Structure 1
């Protein structure tokens, strides 16, 4: 699945080296959604390019 938008870039703390649920005091407004995505997905990859932000999420289904 690919989620794309044209908003601001995602903060580095939400997509790089994710290691468990973040401390809510370290997050900008929101941020728990990325923790849930990382906990449930098999892999994620985020890029920002001229067309916007793109979050690639994969999950192996049985």
Structure 2
């Protein structure tokens, strides 16, 4: 059992050495894109919700 665990840990360490980690600039750029698109999508959903609420209130008023 310990041999398997030790082998697994050695393999994991080896894989971490082969990973190409993003640079700080790439990380900041990716994070910025995600935040901007999340905010834009939230605004879009909010406006869409307001429009649907307004249409629903018009239909109820009939």
Alignment TM-score, normalising by the size of structure 1 = 0.22
Higher RCO (CA-CA < 8 Å; seq separation 6+): 1
Larger-gyration structure (1/2):
2
Higher helix share: 2
Alignment TM-score, normalising by the size of structure 2 = 0.22
